[in-house]
Structure 1
């Protein structure tokens, strides 16, 4: 989740669209039974999405509205949740997607997605951890199992493309002082945005399936680790839980990929607090590989 956009026009437009979607789907603002809190909002990156708890045909649910310019209302990010509902097995715990509705208003396209409400809540209100989460051993075990199951899903969707690696890794990892590999040892299917605001607890739930698809092996574990770097105990826990992959050639490569992406996004002002830790981690990861060890695999 992200903070409410600074632009009041974006806020007003998205809240209006959410109201329109609520009427079309026959839902009203709701909240979990026994909760004393009123309905809350969950904003996506720069106001692209807005979600709220609702009640309606499927009892307690979550209504998420997505915005896009009409000429970009297609492709991977637009269809990700629906593709996940069709292709990702239920052994990967996530809210079920019940209904999708789309409409346009001039140059703006909107999509309403009605989900089950998650059990519990997001582990963090932001992708980067502020404090270490208290998660049971079973939660970690379930996450490892879920990512293993997801990795075997067959899809033509791409979360990361080779052309991006060829272009971005030499640029954003130049501070390492030498050539780095750009070809992954292997590819598998990944969630693609596995940070702490997209994970629920105390019962595991994996949220936000817009960007899932093929990525370098170990990509999800590497991303979760990167978003944990400012909270050392949690970062160490991620490394322990996913040691089998993060300590491998593939895992080290995946870490370099994720670091590249997050350093690039920091140029746009995103998650600036991560930058020093990302650079340190890259310097820790890369010397562990002998020259050429991962290149060309």
Structure 2
């Protein structure tokens, strides 16, 4: 007989005690974590080590891990010509009395500071060289293949998820069939890239996804700064002009405009405006 565990509790690691988790990671990886450098987010904690590396620790419910496992940072070492920190090692374990797993990955230090929070309100003013490096990495990523399936927002992206997400906000008469699946980072926002030297980190959710997912995700994270959102669309214009890029624009916009939207979110109006234009193009194209 299989014993079921309680479902994973909703936990915010910015508020939850994590000393016992840090102690376990130190023993497993043979490092000392500098608590003064610790960065705490809702689902993850990171800190510098005594051997000039970085350890990122994440908590995730078993229902959010999926069939492909949870070793995205390690598997990303196989990717070629993508600017990212080198992975050194990792450890994972399951909570004894809860349907939760923890995973810690040790990587090289980032070449610069994260550009900002995931969604920015001020233009980060990155250089033309930075945009060129972003494009080179995304273009290189798109040419490679994997058995992994991307999990944006920890949900496995499928045709059904694309349909349901878009149709939850936009007309169900839209044909949302995806034609091109390409490798994507799947969490491309301003908190997961560095500057002035470009690097893309936090590779837990990468995998095959509809073309344009990364471009649309970064666009959605930039909408509060119109000039920045416009720059994203210009830099990744071939993705946005593709049919699947249009669908991913609606996919991301639907998450912004959905039932949990905050009425004062500055991204609402630009998301509506672009979505209306995209729908018109899809219906007449």
- 1:5: which partner in 2? 12
How much does 1:48 deviate?
2.4
- 1:40: which partner in 2? 38
Select the structure that is richer in helix: 1
- 1:52: which partner in 2? 47
Structure 2 residue 143 is the aligned partner of structure 1 residue 146: no
- 2:30: which partner in 1? 26
- Tell me which of 166, 169, 172 is aligned to 1:172: 169
CA 1:62 to 1:187, structure 2 compared with 1: closer, same or farther past 3 Å?
Answer: same
How do 1:148-163 and structure 2 match up within 5 A? 148-159=139-150, 160-163=157-160
- 1:184: which partner in 2? 178
- 2:3: which partner in 1? none
How much does 1:69 deviate?
4.1
- 2:4: which partner in 1? none
On the 8 A contact 2:46/2:57 being kept in 1, the answer is yes
Structure 2 residue 200 is the aligned partner of structure 1 residue 200: no
Write the distance in 2 (CA, Å) between the matches of 1:74 and 1:290. Answer: 35
Deviations 1:182-227 (A, max 9, x none): 1123221111111111111111110111111111112211111111
Write the distance in 2 (CA, Å) between the matches of 1:68 and 1:289. Answer: 37
Write the distance in 2 (CA, Å) between the matches of 1:18 and 1:74. Answer: 25
On the 8 A contact 1:76/1:211 being kept in 2, the answer is no
CA 1:88 to 1:179, structure 2 compared with 1: closer, same or farther past 3 Å?
Answer: same
* TM-score for both structures, normalised by structure 2: 0.83
- Tell me which of 80, 92, 102 is aligned to 1:102: 92
Structure 2 residue 56 is the aligned partner of structure 1 residue 64: yes
Structure 2 residue 203 is the aligned partner of structure 1 residue 209: yes
Gaps of 5+ in 2: 1-10, 151-156
SS in 2 for 1:112: strand
Write the distance in 2 (CA, Å) between the matches of 1:71 and 1:289. Answer: 34
On the 8 A contact 1:221/1:242 being kept in 2, the answer is yes
Aligned-residue CA RMSD (Å)? 2.6
- 1:277: which partner in 2? 270
Deviations 1:138-169 (A, max 9, x none): 11111111001101111122222111122232
Instruction: Figure out how many residues of one structure are paired with residues of the other and give that number.
Output: 266
- 1:289: which partner in 2? 282
* TM-score for both structures, normalised by structure 1: 0.80
Deviations 1:9-58 (A, max 9, x none): xx20x332023212332222349xxxxxx413131xxx3221112222xx
How much does 1:78 deviate?
1.8
How much does 1:72 deviate?
5.7
CA 1:72 to 1:168, structure 2 compared with 1: closer, same or farther past 3 Å?
Answer: closer
- Tell me which of 101, 105, 111 is aligned to 2:103: 111
On the 8 A contact 2:74/2:89 being kept in 1, the answer is no
